[in-house]
Amino acid sequence: MPAPERIPSRSLTEAGLRTLLAEGELTVLGQVRGASNAVLYCTVAYEGEERTCVYKPVAGEQPLWDFPDGTLAQREVAAYEISEATGWGLVPPTVLREGPYGEGMCQLWIDAEEEAGHDDGNGDGPPPLLALVEDEEPGEGWKAVGFADVGEGRKALLVHADDPRLRRLAVLDAVINNGDRKGGHLLPAPGGRLYGIDHGVTFNADDKLRTLLWGWAGDPLTAEAAEVLDRLSAGLEPGAALATRLGELITAAEIDALRGRVESLRTSGRHPQPSGDWPPIPWPPV
């Protein structure tokens, strides 16, 4: 697969990027290996503008026992819609469109600065977001997730950075009921932005939250998060624009469950804790 190109210097608005992704000509360059579903690396060109993107055709989705077949692309778009409604911009521009292999999700490619869990050793890359440490407690600037088996009968403490960008993402994941927040789904981008990707297993009506971002479990939500949840609650009222858009992507029962999660977070005023009914950490975690 060719090396990803950086986004050209000429900028487009969020709406312009969505138009480009939705209306542009898709050209498949290769396949992203290692994914459980078909993930195609493409260019998309429209009215003189071109970007790289990811195209995930519905036809390439593997069946899951706990999600209806052929719905993962819509869930990715729904996650983007919620991200935009928060104002945090945590999910790259994402649309549902026809492509060379039928309908699918098309998302702007993010050229990450460095692997989210690794430092480049030179002090030039972004600080690592995840780490394994030998200590019993996390150090300053880190939040504990839990102990992980690292082989030969040894365990290490898995920690993530005490980073406000990650904390926002933890709130988003709780809202969309993300069943697969792994380290490889965190993309630090130029300019200090952090994106989350791979949101196909979201919005289930049952509790499916599995994430590496449990470091704030039980802690009070920030004032910023509380305001965002208030806006989401209003946007999810029947007839509101956000609720209407989500109705095109997920089921009525899933929207009701989404409303319930938002109201539960507003009422408790705290980050959720693992329910005990579902494995709380995805495997593999990175």
Please indicate, yes or no, if residue 44 is contained in any of the structural domains: yes
Q: What is the pLDDT of residues 44-69, one digit of tens each?
A: 999 999 999 999 999 999 999 999 99
Q: Which residues of the chain have pLDDT under 50?
A: 1-9, 115-122
d(CA 228, CA 163): 18
Q: Can you list the alpha helix ranges (DSSP code H) found in 153-222? A: 164-176
Distance CA 95, CA 22 (A): 6
Query: 98: domain range?
Result: 1-111
SS3 label, residue 105: strand
Q: Judge whether 102 lies within some domain.
A: yes
> Within a domain: residue 106?
yes
pTM of the model: 0.91
Domain assignment present for 162: no
Q: What is the pLDDT of residue 127?
A: 78
CATH number at residue 41: 3.30.200
Residue 58 in domain? yes
Helix (H, G, I), strand (E, B) or coil at 27: strand
Look at the chain and report how many structural domains it folds into. 1
Residue 76 lies inside a defined structural domain of this protein:
yes
Q: b vs e for 194-218, b when ≥16 Cβ sit within 10 Å of the residue's Cβ? A: bbbbbbbbbbbbebbbbbbbbbbbe
**What digits encode the pLDDT tens for the residues 155-208?**
889 999 999 999 999 999 999 999 999 999 999 998 889 999 999 999 999 999
Tokens read off for 197 = 């990707």
Residue 17 lies in a domain: yes
SS3 220: strand
- Give pLDDT, residue 124: 58
**pLDDT score for 285:** 66
- Token duo for residue 254: 């899933």
CB 174 within 8 A of CB 265: yes
What does the pLDDT read at residue 40? Answer: 97
The answer to the question of residue 89 being in a domain is: yes
Give the Cα separation of 136 and 119 in Å (integer): 22
What pLDDT, on a 0 to 100 scale, did the predictor assign at position 2? 44
